[in-house]
Structure 1
Amino acid sequence: MNARTHRRTTTRGTRRALRAAALSPRGVASVLAMMFLVMFSSLAVAMAVASQGNLRTANTHLHVLRAMGAAETGMAVAERRLIDAVARFVVERGVVDEQFGTRLWNGSYGAGDGIVNVRPALDGRADVYQPVSVADALVNAHMRDANLVTVSGFPFQADIFTPSGGVDTAVFAADNWVRTGLVGIDAAATEGAMPAAYQITYAPLANGTDVRIIVTGYSSIGATGSTYAYRATAEAGQSRPVTRVIQQDYRIVKRPEQAMLSPSRIMIGKNVMITGDLGARYTDVDQNNGHPITMRSDFFGLNPILDQRLEQLFEALRNGDIDGDNRLRVGHSVEGAAIPGGMEDLNGDGLPDNAFADVTGDGYVDEFDVFIRFYDADGDGRVTLSAALTQGTPAQGRTPEFTADDDLALLIDSAYPDRNRNGVSGFVDTNNNGRWDPGEALLDIDSRNGSEADRVLGWRDGFIDRKDQYAKLRGRMVFRATDGAWAAANGGDYSQHLRGPIRPGRPGQSPTQFGADDDALPPISADSFTNSATPLRDAANGLSFDQQVAQQLGVSVGDLATYTEASTDSTAARFWRADLDDAYVFARTGRHLWEKMPFNSPSYADYYFRPRYENMTFRNVQIPQGNNGLFINCTFVGVTYARSYTDNAHTNWSNYGKMVWNSSANRPEPATDPLDKSDFARYFTGQITDGPANYDQFPDPPVINGATVTGDARNTKRYSNNIRFHNCLFVGSLISDTPQQYTHVRNKFQFTGGTRFAQQHPEQPNNAQLNPNPDDLEEIVKTSLMVPNYSVDIGSFNSPTDTFPGGPPAQNVQLSGTVVAGVLDIRGNTTIDGALLLTFAPTLGEGPLQHMGLPIGNPADFNSTIGYFGPEDGDQESLDPESLPIINGVRIVGYDTDGDGIADVPFDQPRPPGATDVPFYGYGRIRLNWNPDLPMPDGVLLPLSALPLNMTYREGRQ
């Protein structure tokens, strides 16, 4: 019993003890402490793990950035090296195709590829070995790489290699790849160092023209591994670098980089707009009018009050235009502050004119804003054109606001036809006049709503406004002359010679570049052109010139020497020999056989008796040297090849055969001044007494075709070609031989009247006889005009325009491709889609700037003019329309004696009986649009280019 009681007491006591313990404060604290200990220990472990992960992530991210930075640095280096390596190759062939590109890359080109010259490295470094291929040039460039990292498995220097295994030959070439070593970029590649680095591979693609640059960037790399490791305990020798790979494709092409490249002065006149860069190699700025580029305003001269406002703007530009783009930036601390207030009342309406507002809203004030503000009578921010130009447009029926110059209005309203840049633009030119007229369908139609997409954006909408995006030059000016030299020669300021807003072609690009080298402005001369057979010359394979003339006259070739034209039908094919009686010809045509050269120039250099060909069609013809003809209303189909003797370097080449006016005979006759030793008996007799004291100062007679010629045989007109084409149509290309010297008095083409150029006959596009052979079109599209070292005048000194009512047939010249001449002057309605390359570099004491070996003349007087200029500007052959006399309120150019509307007698000579006054027909409109995508013709020696291809940049190895 006692035992049972004891057991019971013990159980109850235990329970009481446990209850007391549970209620004890010390017990509670112990439990909580244990719980918090577990919790904080867990958090500490978690935080340690997270911190270690963050550190690793941050470290990885830093290495990723270093690797990407190294790759991008390598891509920038690779691009520059590829561009420079490719530019070392100066080639004759015009197009780099798959086969030629492959041979250039691996150096297997040969005689069939034409001339291939390899220039020294553009950066002046010496080659390790002589390169013959683009791959060689790249290896040489990279052999000078410094800070190379030595790592097993990588070449220590650049080499050419064949990739092993797995090359997709549908994409890549199988061999002749180029690779570089590892180049460290953020630390010296000394022993034990592990800098970030890049490695470049140049992979030629299977198409032969493209190269893929593959750059691998390494975050850290050295002979013992990398500083990067994902595990904190890893040793450097066990680490692998983070890498990033980027790729970009480039295409090897041949193309001119400027819309116009000239070694003589460039002069851009009124009513001219240019898209593309201007490259001026002229540097003799100390000469009178020695400005490398002269550019006139399109708006000055329209109205005296507008001129006053423009003068204010010009002064503001002189003081405030800090970047030389002829625009003042609104809100800019310097340029914005220079914007005139415009509070004057020059128009007399009693209110401030506010003439200098940013009407177009582009953030600049320029001539275009001042023009719009002046003519915008209703204040809607746009200018309505004349009734003739608004017909059929959204502006039809509105009150005209600008009627002073319809050519200028058309030039601006028709500029940039592909306004939405979708690759579709233009219209169906049903009347073949080269301009849109009411009823002609536009080609870019929005399929969603049927609207005319480009017109919605302002193209030929009958208004001039901000949508037209006007710029005198949409590009930049690149000068070989320095800014300081030009400024010093003009009293510290040359800005008055450059008018019109300039919009650089690329964002962030400067509007001007001075002191450009030969890489930026390649030297172009007669030596840049080859006389080897080219496809264009081969295409001039029609019947001989005499055969084609005789066939159209219905006579034999033998009859031409004594043929006397008797037809009185002015629309029939007619031929007037140059040796006919001038009175006979004049009585039937109203024209003399002789004419001044240049035709109707106020400053002529010679006279020519010209054979005359009227209303004839020539096909793939070679015009023989010495022809010197006048072609009236003739059509030239295919390739027209004018021949001339090329070794024309004799000091008196331009003087042999020269004619002067004989007032008693009332006609020009040969000059008799002695020109060389053969003009004295001493040359033949050997007797000193048979010659003057200065006999030895005279040159020897010329050697022509390997033989010394004297007397009349020296007449160099027989060996040259000075031709005038009047109211002619060229359906194809005009090309020539390449004379060694520029002799503008002997080798010259003049296109007067309603001259037209086209690649398809404008009236009969389906007539095979009036259109080029289909097989020749591939070459014809490369150039409309390729006449190196010839002087070319497109348009006369009063070219007919289609906006002058009642005038003669309008000029409509449309040239395309690479247009080449020695010096080129353009007036009247002309569009050039491609590029202009000019060859003559005027140098005092050489060519036409010497006489009997002595320097004469001013190099600045030899210039290429796009638009109208006068003698005071340095264009000695031309006349400035502003200087013409005004008779009955009309500017008069001269007098028409034969009823064709062209002045036959200049205004400063007596008016012939029965002649009619010829008015100035207007400035016309000229567009020069750089189109680098057009293929170049063979025969032009220019360096190659490497261009990045859009949408080919990628990251990663695929």
Structure 2
Amino acid sequence: MMAQGNRPGERRGTRARRAPAASRRGVASVVAMMFLMLFGSLAAAMAIASKGNIRTAATHLHVSRALSAAETGLAIATRRLEVSTQRFVVSQSNINPTFGQAIWSGSGVPGQVVVQPPPHSPPENPAPTGIVRALANLHAADLNLVPGVSVSVPTIGNRMAGVDPAVYASGNWLYTPAVAVEAPTVGATVPPPCFSITYAPLANGTDVRVIVTGLDFNYQRSGQPVTRTIMQDFRLAKSARHAILSSNRIMIGKNVTVWGDLGARYQDVGRTNGDPIVTRSDFLGLDGVLDQKLNLLYGAVRASDVDGDNRLRVNHPTEGAAIPSQQFAPTWGGPPGAAFFDVTGDGYVDDFDIFIIHYDRNGDARLTLSAGLTAGTPAAGLTPEFTADDQLALLIDGGAPDRNRNGVWGWSDDNLNGRWDPNEAMLDRDPVRGVNRDQILGWRDGSIDKRDQYGKVHGGLRFSVQKSAWESAQGPVPDRVRGPIRPGGIAAQTYGVSDTGLPAVTPASVSASNTALRNAADGASFQNQVQSQTGRPGVVIQPLAGDVAPVDGLPDNWQTAYFEKVPFNSPSHSDYYYRPVYQGLVFKDVVIPPGTNALFRGCTFVGVTYIQSQSGNTHLLWNEYGKMQMDALTGKPMPTVRRNVYGGTAYPTMLPPSALPPNQPLLIATDAMQSQDKADVPSNSGVNVSALPEPLVVNGKRYTDTRLLSNNIRFHDCLFVGSVVSDTPQGYTQVRNKLQFTGATRFVTTHPEHPDDPDYNPEPQDLGEIAKSSLMVPNYSVDIGHFNSPDTQNVKLNGAIVAGVLDVRGNTDINGALMLTFSPVYGEGPLRDARGNPVGNPAEFNTTLGYFGPTEGDSESLNPNDLPLVMVAGEPKRLVGYDTNGDGLADLPHSVSPVPGGAVPVYFHGYGRINVRFDPSMVLPDGIMLPMGINPLNSTYREGKP
């Protein structure tokens, strides 16, 4: 029997034993040694890498210091170039290679040149005759020089060795001493970082390359410091930033923005309405509550705006504290909320912020426009927020069209209406992403927000007058100048500017460019061009007969001839004109003779249209000779002074034989009390004529109607493919020398329907002169558009736009500069009576852009709020009046009763929109004394040696 508790095969009381484990002490040592070697190698590698990184970082630091020194030098060189070039005030505007080389070197400069004294009065020896010497004199005053790096004194010499002679001019290089960018350290063995500048004129004659080398001596190899060289080109130009430069008052009304400086030379501020500049808010008048908010803002601006930009800086201790705190309930309901804060995030509170806050319904700091303006845009289908003024909305949403500043912008205007419409291709399109580059940055995206960069004036306001004199006569400037000013790094307002800073634009100063344009009007004569088209389909000609039988100061067909007020349809007109009418004709390079005084309807003018007039128009009575007034009996205009042919022989003794019978009939005033000049009275009449002015005699012929020597023309619904130019009257006679562009007027450079047809486009050899100016009519009175211009008006003017006085209304884009030649002086020109006595108010002669109401000094406008509301297809519209001749303009007021048969109602089209943008690349007219300047060519910046 087995013992209980034992398994089979086991012995009781015994234990199993394991075999002893093998020893592994040698393997652990090996592994430890391997890790030691690995970590040691890594530590060594990291030390080596760290040392290399430190060395690389140190090298990079020294390279950066050298590059920073070079960048500092480039900034200083740019400023030195600006200062030095602006000292040279020149008459020539075409900065061609010959002129560029001459003005740079100071040898044989064509035209008139005036060298202004240096701005900081460093000693000059010798006095500069060219820009390079002015630069050298400026650098001669440098301190903190580093010797042994470059020349010891500014040196004018030949080009450096090894450069391409096809790129660089051979001489008149300027080498300057090296200038340290830090103060020397006491005890230092090496100089501080520095830069040296070389000014290298290029072979093209118009550009200068600035070559700047930066040096850091703290790290040297083979005894040489670390250097970096950078270069950039600058183009010599005639400097002017003025979008508008005027000797008469400047008035910027509603729905107008200006990109560029305003230059006001007017100084007779003591007169009624004698403000040199008036700007009106684009947002006043849209809504009564908004007006309350804006007036609160204007009060704060008047009291606390320190820098004159009509904005309040949020973080400024004075301006920020003045921001109004009143709250207003939204017009669509809800509790009161903040109405004055920086919703655009630009650091300012201004009109634009208040406007957006007022209309913003969903708090996204963006206003969705009307359905008509959002169609085809990213905002299509969204609930409209701002619908009160579509033209203002277009002005803001369509402002700054080149949002990405790549030089490509605009659209294919297929329907020729001057505004982008759905399905019209935008030109700056990214085909890969399928987006319009400018639109994604806010241009014509169907909404108004901060990306639209709104400002009333994008530039500075510069005045000849002193601010104290202006405010003493007229009151606080902020009450006259309203709307945000975005000066772009310069002073918002500058007073007491000299004639150099605000040069006078006179008829003589534009004579050279005027002559060149006139010479381009070399087509067939006006009469031949009219005769060759007579009888063509669509051509209508209503001639105006001469004053032959009888000679009574009226056209012989006065009973049936067309006539109109001047200015056209103005409630405060100056005269009446009988006009010939030309409709549907095409003119090319045409010369319109003096005394034409026509109405052109629906005509096309190709190339250069030259309007002739007598230049010697300084007679006291030039505006009065031939003046007419409405005759109640006939219902037709009649001469204010009636004259008859004299049958006697007591001829006035002051007339030459050529102005007497039988060479010329003698006209004598029917009523001696109405005599205008000494020749209106027979020599035996016994009337004392000593107080009367001398008669007007031109080329041996006496004139009693200056219409024959002048041109007062209206262009209605006309297309101009090119430029309009005139003779240069010596005096300003706004009644006789006047141009009016009404209706759907268009100015273009290529015919929209016949772009490749030479008969409808300017001659290639004339394009250079045409590009300088779309309109050059010195001392003419010019009206572009009128109150209630139709939406189809699309005026695009380019270059230097020159006139005596200019009024612009409706839809107009001006890309260039406005230059106004007439300087109103009490007792001179039209501000004299028939005896030469001073009369009138110089402030009544002004250049006006945009809408001003009749209570704001514009007697030719109406207040839309005073017009009756009528329902048209279920929509309320303002009735302006009635069109009786089919030109789309109101010939009769809305109050006429009864309404004539066939009269068509004319409704209010809106205030229009006007955009004036200074073009720095335009060629100014020769003769205007303006300072030279430079245009940085940013794309030429690069690192490396020449």
TM-score band w.r.t. shorter chain: 0.7 to 0.9
The Cα shift of 1:430 comes to 1.4
**Residue 169 of structure 2 aligns to which amino acid in structure 1?**
A
Given candidates 763, 768, 780, the residue that maps to 2:753 is 763
Distance in 2 separating the partners of 1:336 and 1:701: 65
Given candidates 167, 170, 191, the residue that maps to 1:171 is 167
**Residue 203 of structure 1 aligns to which amino acid in structure 2?**
A
Superposed, 1:466-615 pairs within 5 Å as 466-491=450-475, 493-506=476-489, 509-530=490-511, 534-553=515-534, 571-579=538-546, 593-615=562-584
What's 2:598 paired with?
629
Confirm or deny: 8 A CA contact 1:892 1:917 kept in the other structure.
yes
Confirm or deny: 8 A CA contact 2:533 2:539 kept in the other structure.
no
What's 2:400 paired with?
416
What's 1:21 paired with?
none
What's 1:44 paired with?
none
Q: Say whether 1:742 aligns with 2:744.
A: no
Q: Report the number of matched residues.
A: 830
What's 1:879 paired with?
861
- Name structure 2 gaps, 5 residues minimum: 1-58, 184-190, 548-553, 642-673, 871-875
**Residue 603 of structure 1 aligns to which amino acid in structure 2?**
S
Report the secondary structure of 2:341's partner residue: coil
Report the secondary structure of 2:266's partner residue: coil
Distance in 1 separating the partners of 2:203 and 2:836: 56
**Residue 840 of structure 1 aligns to which amino acid in structure 2?**
F
Superposed, 1:42-53 pairs within 5 Å as none
**Residue 760 of structure 1 aligns to which amino acid in structure 2?**
T
Superposed, 1:825-840 pairs within 5 Å as 825-840=807-822
The Cα shift of 1:172 comes to 2.0
Distance in 2 separating the partners of 1:504 and 1:166: 44
Distance in 1 separating the partners of 2:409 and 2:148: 58
Report the secondary structure of 1:456's partner residue: helix
Distance in 2 separating the partners of 1:438 and 1:213: 47
Distance 1:153 1:681, change over 3 A: farther
Q: Identify which range, 818-827 or 345-354, moves more after superposition.
A: 345-354
Distance in 2 separating the partners of 1:379 and 1:480: 44
Distance 1:433 1:161, change over 3 A: same
Given candidates 203, 206, 220, the residue that maps to 2:203 is 206
TM-score normalised to structure 1 length: 0.78
Report the secondary structure of 1:678's partner residue: helix
Distance 1:209 1:470, change over 3 A: same
TM-superposition CA deviations, 1:450-474 (whole Å, max 9, x none) = 1222222222222222232222222
TM-superposition CA deviations, 1:780-803 (whole Å, max 9, x none) = 2222111111111000222112xx
Confirm or deny: 8 A CA contact 2:583 2:602 kept in the other structure.
yes
Q: Say whether 1:950 aligns with 2:925.
A: no
Distance 1:158 1:850, change over 3 A: farther
Q: Say whether 1:651 aligns with 2:641.
A: no
Distance 1:427 1:339, change over 3 A: same
The Cα shift of 1:755 comes to 0.8
**Residue 438 of structure 2 aligns to which amino acid in structure 1?**
D
Distance 1:281 1:880, change over 3 A: farther
- The alignment yields a C-alpha RMSD, in angstroms, of 4.0
Distance in 1 separating the partners of 2:406 and 2:224: 48
Distance in 1 separating the partners of 2:66 and 2:423: 62
TM-superposition CA deviations, 1:87-124 (whole Å, max 9, x none) = 32221xx43222332344446668xx7x4444554759
**Residue 883 of structure 2 aligns to which amino acid in structure 1?**
D
Q: Say whether 1:698 aligns with 2:692.
A: yes
Superposed, 1:674-689 pairs within 5 Å as 674-682=675-683
Superposed, 1:300-311 pairs within 5 Å as 300-311=284-295
Q: Say whether 1:777 aligns with 2:767.
A: yes
Superposed, 1:804-843 pairs within 5 Å as 810-843=792-825
Report the secondary structure of 1:823's partner residue: strand
Confirm or deny: 8 A CA contact 2:230 2:941 kept in the other structure.
yes
Give me the identity figure in percent.
49
Report the secondary structure of 1:921's partner residue: coil
- The answer to which structure has the higher helix fraction is 1
Q: Identify which range, 437-446 or 257-266, moves more after superposition.
A: 437-446
Distance in 2 separating the partners of 1:121 and 1:99: 25
Q: Say whether 1:384 aligns with 2:372.
A: no
Confirm or deny: 8 A CA contact 2:330 2:358 kept in the other structure.
no
Distance 1:84 1:895, change over 3 A: same
The Cα shift of 1:201 comes to 5.8
Confirm or deny: 8 A CA contact 2:629 2:638 kept in the other structure.
yes
Distance in 2 separating the partners of 1:817 and 1:932: 10
The Cα shift of 1:948 comes to 3.5
Confirm or deny: 8 A CA contact 1:534 1:938 kept in the other structure.
no
Confirm or deny: 8 A CA contact 2:229 2:945 kept in the other structure.
yes
What's 1:79 paired with?
81
Confirm or deny: 8 A CA contact 2:70 2:212 kept in the other structure.
no
Distance 1:822 1:911, change over 3 A: farther
TM-superposition CA deviations, 1:372-404 (whole Å, max 9, x none) = 222222333322222222222222222222222
- Name structure 1 gaps, 5 residues minimum: 1-56, 188-194, 220-227, 232-238, 555-566, 802-809
Distance 1:908 1:603, change over 3 A: farther
Given candidates 919, 922, 947, the residue that maps to 2:907 is 919
**Residue 553 of structure 1 aligns to which amino acid in structure 2?**
T
The Cα shift of 1:953 comes to 6.4
Report the secondary structure of 1:847's partner residue: coil
Distance in 2 separating the partners of 1:136 and 1:649: 45
Distance in 2 separating the partners of 1:280 and 1:900: 37
What's 2:7 paired with?
none
Confirm or deny: 8 A CA contact 1:862 1:875 kept in the other structure.
no
Distance 1:108 1:670, change over 3 A: farther
Superposed, 1:100-139 pairs within 5 Å as 100-106=99-105, 115-118=111-114, 121=117, 134=131
Distance 1:325 1:703, change over 3 A: same
Distance in 2 separating the partners of 1:848 and 1:722: 17
TM-superposition CA deviations, 1:624-648 (whole Å, max 9, x none) = 1221111111000111111122222
**Residue 209 of structure 1 aligns to which amino acid in structure 2?**
T
What's 2:411 paired with?
427
Report the secondary structure of 2:242's partner residue: coil
The Cα shift of 1:273 comes to 1.7
Report the secondary structure of 2:327's partner residue: coil
Report the secondary structure of 1:829's partner residue: strand
Report the secondary structure of 1:925's partner residue: strand
Report the secondary structure of 1:203's partner residue: strand
Distance in 2 separating the partners of 1:892 and 1:454: 38
The Cα shift of 1:146 comes to 9.9
The Cα shift of 1:272 comes to 1.1
Distance in 1 separating the partners of 2:691 and 2:156: 60
Report the secondary structure of 1:854's partner residue: coil
Q: Identify which range, 128-137 or 516-525, moves more after superposition.
A: 128-137
Distance 1:899 1:68, change over 3 A: closer
The Cα shift of 1:725 comes to 0.3
Distance in 2 separating the partners of 1:703 and 1:182: 70
Report the secondary structure of 2:86's partner residue: helix
**Residue 83 of structure 1 aligns to which amino acid in structure 2?**
T
Confirm or deny: 8 A CA contact 2:81 2:135 kept in the other structure.
no
The Cα shift of 1:652 comes to 2.4
Q: Say whether 1:458 aligns with 2:442.
A: yes
**Residue 546 of structure 1 aligns to which amino acid in structure 2?**
Q
Q: Say whether 1:751 aligns with 2:741.
A: yes
Q: Identify which range, 391-400 or 594-603, moves more after superposition.
A: 391-400
The Cα shift of 1:537 comes to 2.3
TM-superposition CA deviations, 1:680-716 (whole Å, max 9, x none) = 434xx7xxx8442xx44433334534x4x43xx2422
What's 2:14 paired with?
none
Distance in 2 separating the partners of 1:351 and 1:229: 67
Superposed, 1:927-938 pairs within 5 Å as 927-936=915-924
TM-score normalised to structure 2 length: 0.79
**Residue 210 of structure 1 aligns to which amino acid in structure 2?**
D
**Residue 933 of structure 1 aligns to which amino acid in structure 2?**
S
Report the secondary structure of 2:747's partner residue: strand
Confirm or deny: 8 A CA contact 2:546 2:556 kept in the other structure.
no
The Cα shift of 1:855 comes to 1.5
What's 1:50 paired with?
none
Confirm or deny: 8 A CA contact 1:78 1:200 kept in the other structure.
no
Distance 1:216 1:145, change over 3 A: farther
Confirm or deny: 8 A CA contact 2:410 2:426 kept in the other structure.
yes
Distance in 2 separating the partners of 1:652 and 1:882: 37
